Amino acid sequence: MSVIPFDEREGTIWFDGVLVPWREAKIHVLSHGLHYGSAVFEGERAYGGRIFKSHEHAERLLRSAQYLDFTIPYGVTEIEAAKELVLKTSGLTDAYLRPVAWRGSEMMGVSAQNNTIHLAVAAWEWPSYFDPETKMKGIRLDMADYRRPDPRTIPSASKAAGLYMICTISKHRAENKGYADALMLDWEDYVAECTGANIFFIKDGVVHTPLADRFLNGITRQTVIDLAHRRGFEVIERRIKPEEMEGFSECFITGSAAEVTPVSEIGPYRFTPAAMTKTLMDDYTAEVQPKAVAA
């Protein structure tokens, strides 16, 4: 399948407060964010013309920047307006949005306190992260070689670009072995998350998920926990040992890109997507759709 490179697409991108032609949205090769990972971003979806949890994503973007010791020169309201404008001018109703902020190129070195902070927002059509047929069967996950780092070494609560370096490595290795993604453990060898999604397990009608204090507490993760509670499902957030996966019957991952995707295999462990996973998939699909406004 032919894929149009992202720097050769048509459309407009919101760049530091101005809509610019897609192909002209460029930065200098000596931008600090490129060399030192001083960049943060969000991944969001719009359904039926409405950006799901846009406010929460904008707030998290600002918090992520603060964790990296820089301030984005726009507030939540301005960021939300920028996303709405990009979505409108793109002509898309169902889309993926990518706000990204980074340190510019005034200083090149570890210290860059006077560098300009830039913000850009792009939107494009992106269907489900996994194709429907694969999704209903459950995807296969490899076990990643790299661990999620100790929060004492990195700002794990931020959606920082640099934290995804080992995610890219791990996903590439998994794909090269025929898997869709990889499950990462934390530095103490407890189950953590996938390369771009949080993970859930089901056993005896109870939902189990790793405690999100060592990696990003995803907005989709929080949404699914809320949906499970509405259904009356018990949700336990705790440390999970890898060998416990042998006793779980169902497994699924969550993320803005992945949405709710069943898992059939993680390394030597097998799962069967069943009723509870399907219920939460359907509930999430219903939740993200725009709600009709009463007359």
Radius of gyration of the chain (CA): 19
d(CA 273, CA 251): 7
How many alpha carbons lie under 13 Å from residue 292 in its C-beta half-sphere?
A: 2
User: Is 177 a catalytic site residue?
Assistant: no
Which residue in the list 88, 159, 171, 241 is annotated as catalytic?
159
Q: Is 119 in contact with 72 (CB distance < 8 Å)?
A: yes
- What ranges make up the beta strands (E) of the chain? 12-15, 18-21, 39-41, 44-47, 50-51, 95-103, 117-124, 139-143, 181-185, 191-194, 198-203, 206-210, 234-238, 250-255, 259-266, 269-270
Q: Is 85 helix (H, G, I), strand (E, B) or coil?
A: helix
**Active-site amino acid positions:** 159
